[in-house]
Structures are given as C-alpha cells and as structure tokens.
A and B are shown apart, each in its own frame.
Chain A
C-alpha cells in the first residue's frame, strides 16, 4: 500500500524568506509524485509533478521540488515566498502500475507573514 507523510502541519514564514515543505512517501512500486495547492474554499491546483527523468522539477509560481529515491522524499521549495503563497499544500502519490488514483498527505498550512 502507498502512503504519504507530511511532517509539518503548519509552517510559518516571513515574506521573502525561503521555505521548504517536507513530504515522504512509502510505496513498493515506482511512483509518480505531485504537489497541489489549495486556497480557501477552492479546489486543488497542480503545482508540479515528477514522473521520471530529472529529479529536480520546476512548477508554477516559482516552486520546485526534488525527488530523492533513496530517502523516499519529495520536498517542495521556494526561494522567496509572497503573502499570496499562504495556502494549504498537499503532497500526493500514485503508483505507476495504477496511475488512476491519488493518495494524499494530510497537508501543510503555509502561513506567510509580512
């Protein structure tokens, strides 16, 4: 069975500071990895995905993530955050043999302060 752990439920940070949101996964098969963002009262928006190839993937809004197979991690980073980045961030995994459903972590609330 696959699972996703987001170790930090909340991450407070000041505007223009760097941020890292941590994600670890567990799977017995090769996986595809995703980060989604959810703004209040809205659906989820895809930030970036890792399917194969380069382990450093770049997404929208200046975010990037690095796939580390040995550490089973897929941490999300941004070098300088804005107030508008305040939202809930979800890491998700799907198995490459069953790519149809996403298994989500419990989310990390990023709060950016001025």
Chain B
C-alpha cells in the first residue's frame, strides 16, 4: 500500500491557461474525492466518484472545472481558463466502502496551484 499519490506536487501557470492534475488512489479503494484548500481554511469538497461514476459535484465546481475517472482507477481534475482565484491546494482522497476503515478517507499530499 503506497498511499494516495498526486502529480504534480506544484504547478505554476499563467491566468487563462489550462491545467490538469492527476490522482492515483489506494489500489483497493473504489471511492475517490477531490477537495480544494485555500490558505487558512479547511478543505472544501469539490466532487466524488464511486468507481467511474461521478456521483456528486459541489456548486464550487464551476463549468471551468471537470473531473474524470475513466476506468475507476486514477482520476484527473482539469481547470480551463485558470483565474487567480483558482490558486489553492487541490487534495485527493480515497476510501473503501467496507471493512474496518469504512468511511475513512485517505488523503494524498496535494497539488499546489499558483495562478499568476
């Protein structure tokens, strides 16, 4: 078990550019979550997948944001036409729907996005 991994760890982009982040969950976890964390705040829920199905999206997720999990394994989060307000830490988490770790979400190290 290597834990949840996220790439890249840091991304600096210019306003208006598109960026894509990747999350690899723990292998046996079928649930995957994206959160956004800004400075001095707790993480805010963005979206959630069970296998390849995207089951919930936050109102925070504007039309410029899209997430996919095509084969129920890794997931990507894309932000189009980035704005300075998108600067944040993007966290990915995964969980298992059964067993002693039920309802426990395991977080990756995050991708820090800076939009200049």
Contacts and interface: CB of A to CB of B under 8 A. Distances in A.
Contacts of A103: 45
Contacts of B33: 100-102
Contacts, number: 55
Interface residues of B, number: 25
B103 A101 contact: no
A interface SS class: strand
A44 B104 contact: no
A104 B44 contact: yes
A90 B107 contact: no
Interface residues of A, number: 23
Contacts of B107: 36, 43-45
A82 B37 CA distance: 27
A104 B91 CA distance: 13
Contact of B43 (A32, A41, A46, A102): A102
Q: Sort A-B residue pairs by CB-CB distance and give the 4 closest, nearest first.
A: A104-B42, A43-B107, A101-B45, A44-B107
Interface of A: 4, 32, 36, 41-46, 49, 51, 90, 92, 94, 99-107
Interface of B: 4, 31, 33, 35, 40-45, 48, 50, 55-56, 91, 93, 102-110
